[in-house]
Structure 1
Amino acid sequence: MAVWSAEIGARNAGPGAVTLLAGTSFCISSANGDMDARRPHGLFFRDTRFISGWHLRIHGRPIEPLSGMAAETYRATFVGRMARAEGEEDSHLLVERHRHLNGGLRERIIVTNHSGLPVQCQIHLAPEADFADLFDVKEGRTKPVHGIEVRETTNGILFESIHGGQTRTVAVTDPHAVVSGHYLAYQIDLPAQGEWSTEVAVTPCLDGVGPDEDVHATRYGALSLPEFRERAWRERIPRATYSHPSLARIMETSRTDLGSLRIFDPDRPERVAVAAGSPWFMALFGRDAILSSFMSMPLDPSLAHGTIQTLAELQGTKVDPRSEEQPGKILHEVRLGASTLLALGGGKAYYGTVDATPLFVILAGELTRWGFEADILEHLLPAVDRAMAWITDYGDADGDGFVEYERANPEGLINQGWKDSWDGITFADGTLATAPIALCEVQGYVYAAYISRALMAIRAGDSETARLWASRAQRLKEEFNDRFWLPKKGYFALALDGDKVPVDSCASNMGHALWSGIVDEDKAPLVAERLMADDMFSGWGVRTLSTRMGAYDPASYHNGSIWPHDNALIAAGLMRFGFVEESQRLAVALLEAADAFGGRLPELFCGLDRKLQAAPVPYPTSCSPQAWAAATPVHLMRVMLRLDPFLPTDELFLAPVLPAEWGEVRVDNLPLGASRISLRATRNQAAVEGMPPEMELRQTARRPLADLIDVLPRTR
């Protein structure tokens, strides 16, 4: 998930830092509510930091933090007291700061005098603005910005900057404040046990556009836009109950986090996609959004609908080496900050990814299986076919049948699969692989894309196109199992390098090949055995790289760490090939890790062995919440339920193999095409209510997509 041409690491926001999210806006502050420009703090909107400093002082003294926490993803409360001077007794001035993201930032400040004597207070709030690019802040590259104008207004302060062709302003207003220099001042008299309050508004604006702000009148009363969206989300998505308390907490956290990471198209409020992760990736990433919405399909198919529609509109149309755009290609990321736009040659999208395009087609196929084929066939099939053309033409530039990547300019990402760090693809001895690189898992994605396109062709009554893509899938599978398999090692190569030499590292990527179905039946047991061996499985999850490899580092980004989404796909792949016990073991380990992290899986964590570590070790700059990590428990539950709708044949496959400790699960309001159903499951039993009359419940595992030729003639 690395941003284009940027390092992965981020500076630490400090102990007790609090992050708020609302659409493409977010705010990071210290435990007392202040923001310090020397740290990665601030109020951010559209990849720009609008507020870099935010300091509240009473008699010139800072606020000593007592408590700081986010009640919801978009609002937080900070409680503190005026710091005491040396030799003084504890302060009796309690300070509450109630912060809310809605059309910018709103902060209500309450000061209470808990003493028996009246107090005169001099309160100063000092805002600062540097309009820095998000990634300069993240990596500590910010420099003094020249040309920022600061003006006093009738009720506050206005900061303005013109940079990179963009006009950025941020207004800090409070009609009760006295503007003095570059800060808001308040002179108040507090009686004994008295209270004073005020509210400060911060409104950022980029080229005349500000964050969404609205108040909706509902049966709950007047709600801000984030509150309204949260309530509407919870009413629409399934309601689930779990007999296991830890599982209930983890699933609820995942549901809340996915809701908080939704981003909305201002021109189409009904369309929603998924941001990659908080705080540094609150933007659309092709690969992340596709996999996150795929894995959360049982929770809310609208995420997949919005994601695929948005990516189709931004699909590549021309050859542009600077942004790595090509006709039919699906983007890697969208960014709106001035520095990024300049780097991208004036555009807003970077296309340096090899896997988003086949994953785009896979998502279209999954929507078809869930009963949403009308939208795909009527509106998105041209985009799907442009993606297929990219796969066979630009993706396979040398015509060998495999899809490879090589960056088109020296500033692009060196590696363009999901392990996109510069050192993410290595040989067993630690040597870096050289491009063009054909990744193991990408060939599986392409295989699944071919099968998905064949399914869509059958649904459209186009048997000739279905045969074309089904036969291509079969040829690719044969070539993959021949060229990527390492018989002396008993596993698949991580990749083929630029000389078509197998990159012989033992890596987690081959678990994705199980998920896609490209692996031959006779090789699957050996792959499962390697993935679950001690050098790969830490006890908390499958490592990205074996401990026996030369590049192994348990605290690296991609060379020995554990990624929840990676493991979710591996668990699905193990289940697909009938390795139920191994899949259960992996699912249980991941959710035990989530429990150790307080109910939330981070983007990644260190790959240290569970036998040596009583708890999973955090990766220091991991995003949390992060979309595909949040979707992981949802997908694991689907895998353990073996829940597989296949509406083209009017079938619902449901054959639970829930781990014994998970107890009973009940899900109501589960989307299934145009219907909503309820299901109840225990370890290996299930019951369903509300099934459409034309559908049949199959209490067996669904046959793999490789059996498509047998299944397709029965489609209605």
Structure 2
Amino acid sequence: MTAWNADTEAAATESGAMTVVEGSSFCISSGTGDIAADGGTNGAFYQDTRIISRWVLRINDSLREPLGAQRPESYRAVFVGRARWPGGRFDSPLVVRQERHVGPGLQDDITLENYSSEPVDCDIELLLDADQADLFDVKGGRVAKSATVNRTVREGELVLEAVRNGQRRGTAIRARGAFATESSLRFRASIPARGQWSTSIIVVPLINGEPPAEPFTEATRPQHRTGARRHRDWEQAVPRITVTDSNVQNVLDRSQRDLGSLRIFDSHHRDRAAVAAGAPWFMALFGRDSLISSYMSLMVDPGLATGTLQTLAGLQGKVVDPDSEEEPGRIPHEVRLGITAGLSLGGTAYYGTADATPLFVSLLGELSRWGLTDDVIDALLPHADRAMEWIEEYGDRDGDGFVEYQRPNPHGLINQGWKDSWDGINFADGRIAEPPIALCEVQAYVYAAYVGRSRLARCAGDAATERHWAAKAAALKRAFNDRFWLPDKGYFALALDKDKTPVDSCTSNMGHCLWTGIADADKAPAVAARLMEPDMFTGWGIRTLASTMGAYNPVSYHNGSVWPHDTALVATGLMRYGFVEEASRVASALFSAASHFDGRLPELFCGFDHTEFPGPVPYPTACSPQAWAAAAPVQLARILLRFDPDFTRGVVHLAPILPDSMGDFRAENVHLGHARVVVEARDHEGLLTGLPDRLEMIREPRPPLDQDLAVGEPVQGS
């Protein structure tokens, strides 16, 4: 079984590797386009199974000389190389173009161009294999050798199948003009002078002998597939952003493209898009990651949040199962389709997370402020209520009012918050905290869930339910500020451990408490100041753990690194409580960091101070693109605009505080309810065009403490 607590990081890929992705399918190859038999984690993957493990093109008994590789779209790559001329002619005029499309399988269009004035005959061989290994095993370097791959050649098609744990997975590979063997496709090409030769390699995955609904075919050009059309439609539908600062422009443009590439679609609801966690290894639905990513992407497309909620609702827990950690009302942590994953999860879904369930409710409450239609909310409301029941019946294990976690099996995640590495929760002196553990940010998310459910009740005219959840929110806030506050340190404890002892390390988690509003107003200044101290703020972002703590390691996964999504949520919290200068500094730092990653923020980077190196130091196994890293710049833009719609009150706040270096900002086609509005800002002046009649623009930031709840408690804001 997969040891979940040892499998939270991404696996390393080859330096210079090319990754193309569409939905949950992806392909990792070398920069030449080849996939070597011993390529480690390289391969083409469909439904968490490696359908191609070897893909090596040889022309005239030689590999290609690589000339370049490009990725025009997330799902398409183009490789250019030079092939050996028969007899070994120097400076060969044979150019190889290879265009790869990934989706429900793979299609490679290969063209040989002869720039010589004489014809040439070429022997072409594509060496192939498909080990049908599970993604978890590939990622962890645990590929089993026991399964026998059956190789069948029929009517020019090579079929590679293996039976693993009772399920038959296979790959069918064909090409026009090919002679198929049990390990290759071979061609003999006669290319005229100044002419060319081409073929298309079609790869079709098989599950128990059946192909996917829309496989690649010779009859349909790959750019006409559903996946390619979805990508083009996304490009047309998202906001068109113009910013004077070219770096910010580049970062936001790239974020939008990456979010589009990380969408996955429910096979039973093909118009329903959810957000996968990240490429390549986490192209799957993750409760926490997908919910937070879609929250931070609201200004790009609120539909991502809707689709994520609807998809997760269909997977909500129904029974108690200690193996998968499913419980009634619980929102899953991760959904996988591979065989080994299914064994380790106790099914296709694993539920071991403490935070996805309250985040589900809080996001639904937030969407009501963005004009989500009543019919969608009404359909999701029963799921929100089941989630609330989980919080109180299963999440709060000992009845103390706080949600704790402790895995009930030996293979689940030891830590079940966003810092889910085995050593991610520790005291100031470096000691590991022991479960059951109640994390500070989980209580903040529960608070946001109570507030969100109260808001939903208010929208429905249900005063009694509104007051009930508002009172729960107020009670939790009082208890949290009493038990988690460390007056001698001036910040909130990371957690309470098994003995209810505060875990006293200084971490970024407390910034999430500002984000949701659970922190008392009188404690917020101390928290803000502590987050901006040099041992927390690197100049590129906020460290996960202060450099003065015992477990600090700038090159660790969770104990001193910088995670862009985490930093963006901290900045959101700072802005919420009115720390405008601090929030702006953090936002500007993260935009600056992005410029060192060619505009694409990775999952995380190392926690070295900005004075130590010319730029942020990459973390070696970080996912890129990764959903909440891609969404972080969108959230930063929103907080700098102080753009805060609220259909429940009929207002939208726009009170920009853009840094001078950013210049003018304009976003056309921003979704707001059923309308598309234009958001413009310069310095501290903002303008909204196309606003629905029912909304009034307010040129002031939304007050951090909103007295509209029945008990006068603050509500979740941006």
**What TM-score, normalized by structure 1, do the two folds share?**
0.96
* 2:60 is the alignment partner of 1:59: yes
Q: Is the contact made by 1:104 and 1:211 (CA closer than 8 Å) also made in structure 2?
A: no
CA distance in 2, matches of 1:504, 1:392: 26
Q: Following TM superposition, by how much is the alpha carbon of 1:313 offset from its aligned partner in structure 2, in angstroms?
A: 1.1
Deviations 1:615-642 (A, max 9, x none): 1110001000000001011111111111
Quote the Cα distance in structure 2 between the aligned partners of 1:617 and 1:85. Answer: 46
Q: Distance in 1 between matches of 2:331 and 2:652?
A: 31
Q: Distance in 2 between matches of 1:211 and 1:553?
A: 47
Counterpart position of 1:563? 563
* Residues 154-553 of structure 1 mapped to structure 2, 5 A cutoff: 154-207=155-208, 208-210=210-212, 212-213=214-215, 223-345=224-346, 347-372=347-372, 374-553=374-553
Partner of 2:638: 638
TM-fit CA distance, 1:213? 4.6
Map residues 40-59 of structure 1 onto 2, 5 A cutoff: 40-59=41-60
Q: 1:482 to 1:84 in 2, by over 3 A?
A: farther
Query: What do residues 359-400 of structure 1 show as CA deviations (whole Å, max 9, x unaligned)?
Result: 000111011111115135421111101101111111001010
Q: What does the per-residue CA deviation read over 1:506-545, in whole Å, with 9 as the maximum and x for residues that have no partner?
A: 0000000000101111110110111111000001000000
Cα separation, 2, equivalents of 1:195 and 1:125: 18
Checking the alignment, whether the CA contact within 8 Å between 1:16 and 1:68 is kept in structure 2 is no
Deviation at 1:156, TM superposition (A): 2.1
What is the SS of the residue equivalent to 2:398?
coil
What code does the residue aligned with 1:294 have?
Y
Match of 1:135 in 2: 136
633-642 vs 151-160, which moves further: 151-160
Change (3 A) 1:81 1:221: closer
Contact 1:130 1:145 in 2 (8 A): no
Return the letter of the residue paired with 2:426.
T
Q: In the alignment, residue 703 of structure 1 is paired with which amino acid? A: P
- CA contact 1:77–1:96 (8 Å) conserved in 2: yes
CA gap 1:212/1:256 in 2 versus in 1, 3 angstroms? farther
Match of 1:25 in 2: 25
Cα distance in structure 1, aligned partners of 2:693 and 2:374 = 20
- Taking a change above 3 Å as real, the CA distance of residues 153 and 693 of structure 1, as seen in their structure-2 partners, is same
Q: Which moved more, 1:591-600 or 1:115-124?
A: 115-124
Offset at 1:440? 0.7
Which region of structure 1 is more displaced relative to structure 2, 265-274 or 200-209? 200-209
Q: Once structures 1 and 2 are overlaid, which stretch shifts more, 161-170 or 493-502?
A: 161-170
Q: Contact 2:677–2:690 at 8 Å: present in 1 too?
A: yes
C-alpha separation in 2, matches of 1:606 and 1:85: 49
Return 621-630 or 658-667, whichever deviates more.
658-667
Which residue in 2 is equivalent to 1:667?
667
1:213 and 1:225 map into 2 onto residues whose CA distance is 10
Render the CA deviation track for 1:58-80: whole Å, top value 9, x for unaligned.
12211121111211101110011
With 73-82 and 495-504 compared, the bigger mean Cα shift is at 73-82
* SS of residue paired to 1:555: coil
Distance 1:115 1:302 in 2: 53
Q: 1:326 to 1:8 in 2, by over 3 A?
A: closer
What displacement does 1:204 show?
Answer: 0.7
Distance across 2 between alignment mates of 1:69 and 1:46: 25
Conserved? CA contact 1:584–1:659, under 8 Å: yes
Aligned to 1:698: 698
Comparing 334-343 with 143-152, which one deviates more in the overlay? Answer: 143-152
On the 8 A contact 2:49/2:133 being kept in 1, the answer is yes
Q: Cα distance 1:426–1:16, how it changes in 2: closer, same or farther (>3 A)? A: same
Counterpart contact for 1:424–1:558, Cα < 8 Å: yes
Residue-by-residue CA offset, 1:97-131 (whole Å, 9 max, x unaligned):
11112432111111122334433211100110100
1:37, 1:440 → 2: CA distance?
46
Q: Give unpaired runs (5+ residues) of structure 2.
A: none
Alpha-carbon distance in structure 2 between the residues aligned to 1:113 and 1:457: 70
CA deviation after TM superposition for structure 1 residue 497, in Å: 0.3
Q: In the TM superposition, what is the alpha-carbon distance from 1:186 to its structure 2 partner?
A: 1.0
Per the TM alignment, residue 165 of structure 1 is displaced from its structure 2 partner at its CA by 2.5
Identify which range, 273-282 or 334-343, moves more after superposition: 334-343
Instruction: Describe the SS at the equivalent of 1:273.
Output: strand
AA at the equivalent of 2:189 = I
Letter in 1 for 2:212: G
Native 8 Å contact 2:55 2:127 kept in 1: yes
- Taking the aligned partners of 1:445 and 1:10, their CA distance within structure 2 comes to 26
Query: Do structure 1's residue 79 and structure 2's residue 68 form an aligned pair?
Result: no
Matches of 2:691 and 2:66 in 1, distance apart? 54
Of the structure 1 ranges 29-38 and 80-89, higher mean CA displacement relative to structure 2 is found in 80-89
Shift of 1:712: 9.1
Q: Match of 1:256, SS?
A: helix
Q: Which amino acid aligns with 1:37?
A: A
The answer as to whether partners of 1:451 and 1:708 remain within 8 angstroms in 2 is: no
CA contact (8 A) 1:171 1:203 kept: yes
From the superposition, tell whether residues 11 and 571 of structure 1 become closer, same or farther in structure 2 (CA, over 3 Å): closer
Q: Which moved more, 1:407-416 or 1:237-246?
A: 237-246
Is the contact made by 2:52 and 2:131 (CA closer than 8 Å) also made in structure 1?
yes
Listed one character per residue, the Cα deviations across residues 325-368 of structure 1 (whole Å, up to 9, x for unaligned) are 111110000011001112233x2100000000000001110111
**Once the two structures are superposed, what CA deviation does each residue of 1:167-215 show, in whole Å capped at 9, x if it has no partner?**
2111110121112342111112233333211111011122425264589
Distance 1:9 1:638, change over 3 A: closer
Letter in 2 for 1:210: P
Q: How many residues align?
A: 710
- Partner AA of 1:359 in structure 2: L
